Every structure is written in structure tokens, then in C-alpha cells.
Amino acid sequence: MNIFGYLLMWFGAVAGHKKKAQVLLTGIVAVVLGTPVLAQTPAKRPNIVMILGDDLGFADMGSFGSEIKTPNLDSLAKDGVRFTNFYTRASCSPTRSVVLSGVDTHKNGLGNMSEWTSPNQKGVVGYEGFLSKQMVTLPQLLKGAGYHTYMVGKWHLGKQPDLIPAARGFERDFSLLDGLSSYWDMSNLAAMAPKTVFTEDGKYLTKLPDDYYATKTYTDKLIGFIDANHHDGKPFFAYVAHQAPHDPYHLPKEWRSRHVGEYDKGWDAVRQQRLKRQIELGIMPAGTELADRMWFIPDPIVLAAQARAITGKKMEMYAGMVENLDFHVGRLIDHLKQIGEYENTIFIVFGDNGAEGADLFKMVAGTPGTLNFLSAAINWSQTHPGAWGDPGSYVAYGPMWAQVSMTPFSQYKGWLAEGGIHNALIVSGPAVKRARGSINGGLMDVIDFMPTLLEIAGASYPKTYEGRALPSLAGKSWVKVLAGQAESPRTEQDYLGWELFGNRAVRQGEWKLRWQYESFGKGKWELFNLGKDPGERKDLAAERPDKVKTLLALWDDYVLTNNVILPDRSPYEVLKDTQPPRVPVDAGYPQMIYDRQFVPPKEMMSDPKP
């Protein structure tokens, strides 16, 4: 390279990265003096930014078929690769525990959520309800390998001083320790615990910043963490565990009205439109059918206009939550570009489980006469649609829109149908050598993050940590898949297993065996071929007893390997008694509610005779 080339590169680098500028200046001097240019220092290890959307659905980003505008997240998809066969766990804290430990939930302390630990699981190792202190975490290992480690957002893995982010490997943090909260303040739903708990850099906060809004503040804090250490040359790992778009849907006013009236057409129409776009994009194969609309959800066509407008407004609020999240992701992306770190940053984007279809407000508030009901009525009393988004309001969009978020899959968060555990995944950055904007259908899982990111960072997983033996990692590295040297980290013989709240499933290749409580399930094993039937419309258990037997053996292996203890109590134990009986959903049935006024031929009309 001649002196002019070095000068051009140097001027571009001065504003971005001091060390890069110094290396280039050395080249300029070498050219001027006529001395050979020495080999440059080895390339800096990549930064890692993990962006987790809380309850973000498979079909909620534009690059996965949504009408919601997510240009910044879509830009990462355009620069990287989208994965369409990626699995999480069915709820928040179990997924997060696997992400940070690389170990199955039944070994890492989240065999059940702390909120639902059953009597027969209490006191059992692996069912502590927090991320077990016997685990080593991803940030601990990356920190030991020379990375800065930062966390912002929702933790949900323990509140005691030895369980908070600062105690589990995060050098800097600004974290919500609870499972949900107001986006404006520390308000919590439960009467016995009316304030949510936050930490900053290992200290419990007495109050929140004056201009606090969750998604904005998390982004502000992370940018500050990055800038504080930017010039020391060390790479960083940032765990960006946003609350959004988890309910309650709290939004600044300017974000609430970006889709007015757009969703009044109803959930069936939006789901059909999303599937059409998914097929056009290559996210789903041609011929894919939507899962049945859940039997207790009405056909929106038969709703009164006012009901459609109110339910549509709930989806407008959700869309605003996703777009606001995307905006703040864009702020982070732009900042990394400004400081010269974008090109050396791996981005990982995913949702932690299926979209939320349950009514959490009703679940926590309970029944009249209870403390929680009174507390909810007093502190969350802003129920008018005009106040939705304000402090003291609580709105969520319900099961009908959750199925839209999970297009084309069946069911939603909390269940082991595809709608509970199948999510979108975007990976971009220097580790990705596949064609930009490409799509991959390899079988991926959140349990793979630990081996993948350790390999990328040049770190390893030890057999012991601080004197204690560690369980083996259960995941598979994606490095070869990202490099384009393999299509999947798993063979046809490998399998994935899940259990939560007593629901259970196992997948091998295209086949999935599933057991769920009635009425979401049959209370017995069901078999699906996901390659032909991603919506789990047809149970093949009676037709393929041989395949049921094969997968049952894998389920037994999963139970034995991971010390799975099925709960003797479940949030779903009486569900079938509180829901209308499950019936098939057929378009246009029953005909009587769709029949329009009969109008006779005009020429045959007459007034009555005298």
C-alpha cells in the first residue's frame, strides 16, 4: 500500500478507534522511511451483543413476516443470517438460565419457575427456582478470558446478594431482578411485594433515574458502560435482556398511535397476511398451513365493531412496544458504528419464549376480597383505553394476538406446542460467513449459546470452577454453521427435550412427541411431523406407533440424564374445567352465525294485499 492509501485509512480511523489509527500511522511512517511494514497485531476478538426480546414472537419482526416496522432489527438480518428452526424454553426464567449456563433447566436450578415450584420439587437440587450457584456462567468465563461483561434489563434468576448479576460475572449492570414491572417506575402487581427490585453495578437501587423509561434507560446505561472502557482494547460481551415487549404495554405517547385502525380487521386476517409474507421471504415453505385458531377464540368477523376496535387497539399498543424496542436497538447499532465497533461485533437477536397469551394481570390480581385484587384495583386503575400506556395502566393483547405473533404455529408461551418454544433467531457479525441475508433451517437451541460463544471468544468450558465440579455442556457449537461449513449443529440422531409445568416434549429430526394438559393437549402423547405440519394440526400417534415408541425412549433418556421430576401441582391442573370444551375449528361453522339477511329477487317483491 502506498502513502496515500495509508493516509486515507488513517483519517477514517482517528475518529473511530485510537489503536487502529496508531497501527495505520506506523504504516505511513514505514512508507516514508522506506522500511518494511511489520506484521500487524492479531485481529481483536469480536464483541458480542445478545439482544433478547421478552415474549417477542416468531413472526413479530419484519424480516420474519411482520407488518410491524423493525428496520434496525431487519438490518441485522440483512447483514447476517436468519434461523427458522430455533428453540427456547416455554417461559422466561428457564430460558435465561439455559442461555447463561449452557445446562438443562432441571440441572441448573430452574427445573421449575420459582413462582410455580410444586410441593414434590421443593428442596430438590436443580429446582431451587434461581440460577444455581453450582453453575459457572457465560459472563464469568468470558470475563476470565479477557472480556468486559455488561448486562442491562430483566434478570429473573435470583435476588439475594450472591445471586444478582454482579455476583454471576457481570462487571457492570443495570438490572430489573423481577419477572415483570412497570416501564415507568418500580410498581409491581403483587400486594405483598409492591415494589420491583433493581440493581446497578451490584448495589440495590433505592429509586430509579428521574427520566426513567425501561427500554430507553437500559440502552442509555449500556452505551455508557461501553464508552467507559472503549479505549482499553478489550472486547465486550453485552447481555441486553429487554423487558419489551412483555406486558404491561407502557409506551411514551408518541409511540401509541402508529397503527390506528390497522388491526380492526382481526387476528385471522393478520395471521394470513403474515404467513403469506413468510412464504414470500422463504421463512416458511410454500404450502405451509396455519395452525387452527384456538377453539375458545372467536372469529373476529362475528364481533361487533366496537369490540374489534378495542381488541385491535391492544395489538396497536403491542406493535408500538416492538417498534420502540427496535428504535432503541437502532440507537445502540448507530453508536457502535460511530465508535468503530460495529464491524467487529456479533449480534444475536431472539425472543425468550413464545408470545404471551395468558392474562397475567388476572392471574396475579386473583379474586375480589384478596389483597392482590385490592392492590391491583388501587394501583393499576388506569383502565380507560385512552390511558393505556400511562403509569398505572395494565394492558396485554390476549391469546388471539399471541397466535398472530407466533404465526404459523400453534399455541403460545407456557406450552410445549411450537408456539411456546419455537422462536426467531438472527445472528450477524464477523463470525458469520454465510451469504448476507440468508436463511438457515438447522436445528438450533438456546442451550447452544455457551459452547458457541466460548469458541468464538477463544475460551473454554472447564471441568471445575472455583473448586466445584461442573456439569457437562449439553449444547452444540454453531461455529461451523455460521461459517457455512455445515447446515445444522445436529445430526438426525440428536434430539432436544423439554419439560415445564408438567407439559413435556421431545424432537428428533422432523418428528416431535408432545404431552400436554387438557384442553391445550389431550393428556396423552401426541405425534407430529413438523417438516410437513409445522402448525401441529394432525396427530399421527395412532398411525405411527413405531415412531412414538422411538421418541418415548428418547424422552426416558432425557428424564434420566437431567433428573426430570414431573410436578405434582401445575398451573394447568384444572384448566379444562375452566374453559369451554375443545372442539374442532372449521371456517364458517356454525353456519347460523354467518348467515346474512336473505333478500328475495326484486321482481318478486310486493306489498301485502288489502
Q: Note if 148 is an active site residue.
A: no
Question: What residue has cell string 439482544?
Answer: 51
Side-chain-side CA neighbours of 544 within 13 Å: the count stands at 17
C-alpha cell at 18: 485510537
Residues 401/354, Cβ–Cβ less than 8 Å: no
Closest by alpha carbon to 425, among 79, 87, 138, 75? 87
Extract the C-alpha cell encoding 590.
356454525
Please tell me which residue in 17, 106, 148, 156 is annotated as part of the active site: 156
* Contact status, residue 67 vs residue 273, Cβ threshold 8 Å: yes
* Spatial contact of 76 and 347, defined as CB atoms under 8 Å apart: yes
* Active-site position among 17, 92, 246, 250: 92
Q: State how far the Cα of 472 lies from the Cα of 128, in Å rounded to an integer.
A: 19
Helices (H), 395-448: 398-405, 418-421
Encode 554-572: b = buried (16+ Cβ within 10 Å), e = exposed. bbeebbeebebbebeebbb
CA-based radius of gyration for the chain: 26
* Helix residue ranges, H only, 436-589: 449-457, 479-482, 545-562, 575-578
* Grid cell of 8 as nine digits: 486515507
Backbone angles phi, psi at 387, to 5 degrees: -100, -5
Secondary structure letter of residue 195 according to DSSP: B
How far, CA to CA in Å, does 90 sit from each of 240, 390, 411, 523?
A: 20, 29, 11, 18
In eight-state DSSP terms, residue 365 is H
> How far is 113 from 116, CA to CA, in rounded Å?
5
Torsion angles phi and psi, residue 381, rounded to 5: -95, 0
Cell 518494511 locates to: 36
Q: In the numeric block, which cell numbers belong to residue 454?
A: 466460548
User: 428 has which bridge partners?
Assistant: 347
The continuous run of DSSP H or E covering 425 comes out as strand 422-428
C-alpha cell at 273: 397476511
C-alpha cell at 44: 481483536
| 156 labelled catalytic | yes
Other beta carbons within 10 Å of 573: 14
Which residues are known catalytic residues?
A: 92, 156
